Amino acid sequence: MQLRDKLQRDIVILDGGFGTTVEQFGYDVKHELWSSNLIQSNPEAVYKVHKAFVDSGAEIILTNTYQASVQSFLNIGIDRATARTYLATAVELATRAAGNQAIVAGSLGPYGAMLGNGSEYTGDYEETEADYIQYHKERLDILIEAGVSVFAFETIPNIEEIKAVRTLLLDYPHIEAWISVTLKDHDHLSDGTPLEAVIEVVNEIENVLAFGVNCTSVNVIDAAVDKLIALSAKPLILYPNSGRQYDAVHKVWIDQEDASLVEAAPRWKEKGVKIIGGCCQVGPGEIKELGTALK
């Protein structure tokens, strides 16, 4: 009941972008697994980043497992048993940092994140429902075994993957989850699916307690928020990027004009958004400012 209880509150602060904060802290994340590689190479760095967000006022923190799955570890030569251990370690690090100040949600990034070709930003991949289910189910089971009961299926750019999550969650009535998507513009999912069709699917999933948008600019979310509120039967969760866009081809961040998260967030709160945090390039300092602006 952790997430359900949080959603009874006026506003809840989520953490920021883990991978980009790791970079800002000076750790090397140039790896196929991005920041998830630190689970094996530098677990204390993972703990420090989590703790920085908790100390900045985050009331929900996400495990450093966005890009981590058994398959993604297998892809770099790590055996299945060790991969399972690393995923459990990610939970332990987040739980230790959270203490009694925050709840831990398991981060489950999209299938495209495992492909490593930038398709996680476009939704340009076509797999079977069984492929999507297998990808998410294996790590979901591992994180549940490690003690997680709240899950974020996040940064999902593809409507067929959302439908697969709907099917998967029929077998997990005891967990609490949210689904968060990326937007191409204020009317469409990254793969071009109209928002109406996306939210219609999410509204059907009983144990998805919130719906949201992340890894998308403040400007796009600002333009979409009224439609999101009107269409969603679930409370809203918003955690945008900070105003820089990731070029997946050249693997660099590009500055772009964007509104301020800290300035936009009070407007979103007034409209009824329940959980607000940050994604890429939003660090502990911004989360502290966000908390001050919202509380």
**Dist CA 34 CA 26 (whole Å):** 14
- CATH superfamily for domain 2-294: Homocysteine-binding-like domain (3.20.20.330)
Q: Phi, psi (5° rounding) for residue 212?
A: -155, -175
Secondary element (H or E) of residue 61: strand 60-62
User: Which pLDDT score is estimated for 46?
Assistant: 95
pTM score > 0.85 for this model? yes
User: Which pLDDT score is estimated for 85?
Assistant: 94
User: Which pLDDT score is estimated for 1?
Assistant: 67
Q: Reduced to 3 DSSP states, what percent helix, strand and coil does the chain have, rounded to the nearest 5?
A: 45, 20, 35
On the CB side of 206, CA atoms within 13 Å amount to 7
Q: In what order do the strands lie in the sheet with 150-156?
A: 12-13, 275-276, 236-239, 208-214, 176-181, 150-156, 103-108, 60-62
Binding residues: 215, 279-280
pLDDT tens for 161-172 read: 999 999 999 999
pLDDT tens for 220-244 read: 999 999 999 999 999 999 999 986 5
**Which residue's structure tokens are 């058994």?**
70
Q: What is the token pair recorded at 90?
A: 């990610």
With beta carbons less than 8 A apart as the criterion, state whether 111 and 158 touch.
Answer: yes
Domain ranges within the chain, ordered by starting residue: 2-294
Number of helices and strands in the chain (H, E) = 13, 12
**Which residue's structure tokens are 């998805």?**
208
User: Which pLDDT score is estimated for 270?
Assistant: 98
Binding residues for Zn(2+): 215, 279-280
With beta carbons less than 8 A apart as the criterion, state whether 280 and 35 touch.
Answer: no
Residues of the chain with pLDDT under 70: 1, 29, 31-35, 243-258
- Distances from the Cα of 3 to the Cαs of 6, 45, 149, 155, 266, in angstroms? 5, 27, 9, 19, 21
Long-range contact list for 257-260, CB < 8 A, 24+ apart?
Answer: 257/219, 258/217, 258/218, 258/219, 259/217, 259/218, 259/219, 259/222, 260/218
**Which residue's structure tokens are 């204390």?**
44
